[in-house]
Structure 1
Amino acid sequence: MKKKISQFLINNEVSSKRALIEAAFGLIFIFSWNMCAYRLPKIIAADWYHYDMTLPVDDLVPFAPWTITIYFGCYIFWGVNYILAVLQKKEERDRFILAELIAKGICFALFLLIPTTNVRPDVSEPGFWNWWMTFLYNVDSPDNLFPSVHCLVSWFCWIGVRKRKDIPFWYRAFSLVFTLAIFVSTLTTRQHVIVDVISGALIAELCYMFTGIDKVRGLYSKLSSAVSGFVTKKLDQKREKNKQCQNSNS
Structure 2
Amino acid sequence: MKTALRIVTRMLPAYGVFPLVFSFIFNCLVYSGSRMIAGGWYHHNIETELDRSLPFVPQFLVVYFGCYLFWAVNYILIARQERHRVYQFFAGDFLSRCICLVFFLVYPTTNTRPVITDAGLWNQAALWLYSVDAADNLFPSIHCLVSWFCYLGIRGNQKVPVWYQRVSMVIAVLVFVSTLLTKQHVIADVAGGIVLAELCFCIGRKTELYRIYEKFGSRIEQKILEFTEG
TM-score, normalised relative to structure 1? 0.85
Map of 2:65 onto structure 1: 72
Tell whether the 8 Å contact from 1:152 to 1:200 is kept in structure 2 after alignment. yes
Rounded Cα–Cα distance in structure 1 between residues aligned with 2:174 and 2:228: 43
1:125 to 110, 118, 126: 118
Check if 1:160 corresponds to 2:138.
Answer: no
- Residue 233 of structure 1, CA deviation: 2.8
Is it true that 1:143 corresponds to 2:136 in the alignment? yes
In 1, Cα distance between the equivalents of 2:131 and 2:207?
Answer: 44
Separation (CA, whole Å) in 2 of partners of 1:135 and 1:233: 45
DSSP-derived class of the 1:215 partner: coil
Please give the per-residue CA displacement for 1:207-239, whole angstroms capped at 9, x wherever unaligned: 011112342121112122222123323444x3x
**Aligned partners of 2:89 and 2:205 also within 8 Å:** no
Distance 1:231 1:68 in 2: 38
Q: Distance between the aligned counterparts of 2:105 and 2:19, measured in 1?
A: 25
Paired letter, 2:13: L
Structure 1: segments with no counterpart, 5+ residues = 1-15, 239-250
Matched to 1:226, the amino acid is: R
Mapped to 2, the partners of 1:214 and 1:193 lie a distance apart of: 32
Instruction: Please state whether the residue corresponding to 1:131 is helix, strand or coil.
Output: helix
CA contact (8 A) 1:23 1:86 kept: yes
Which residue type is aligned with residue 140 of structure 1? Answer: D
Do the aligned partners of 1:70 and 1:185 also contact (CA within 8 Å) in 2? yes
Q: How many residues align?
A: 221
The equivalent of 1:219 in structure 2 is: 212
Query: Residue 43 of structure 1 is aligned with which of 25, 32, 36?
Result: 36
Which AA in structure 1 matches 2:181? T
SS of match in other structure, 2:128: helix
CA distance in 2, matches of 1:155, 1:176: 7
Q: Any runs of at least 4 consecutive aligned residues in structure 1 with deviations exceeding 3 A, and if so which?
A: none
Q: Is the 8 A contact 1:124 1:134 kept in 2?
A: no
Tell me the residue number matched to 2:14: 21
**Which residue is equivalent to 2:175?**
182
1:87 to 74, 80, 83: 80
**Percentage identity across aligned positions?**
39
Distance in structure 2 (CA, Å) of the matches to 1:95 and 1:73: 27
Q: Give 3-state SS (helix, strand or coil) of 2:13's partner.
A: helix
Structure 2 residue identity aligned to 1:96: F
What letter matches 1:59 in structure 2? R
Deviations 1:145-166 (A, max 9, x none): 0110000000000011111111
Of structures 1 and 2, the one scoring higher in RCO (CA 8 A, sep 6+) is 2
- Higher-Rg structure is 1
Corresponding residue of 2:46? 53
Counterpart amino acid of 1:141? A
Q: In the alignment, is residue 209 of structure 1 matched against residue 202 of structure 2?
A: yes
Query: What per-residue deviation string (whole Å, max 9, x for no partner) do you get for residues 102-151 of structure 1?
Result: 10111111000011111100112111211111111111110000110000
C-alpha distance in 2, partners of 1:221/1:25?
10
Counterpart CA distance in 1 for 2:61 and 2:189 is 18
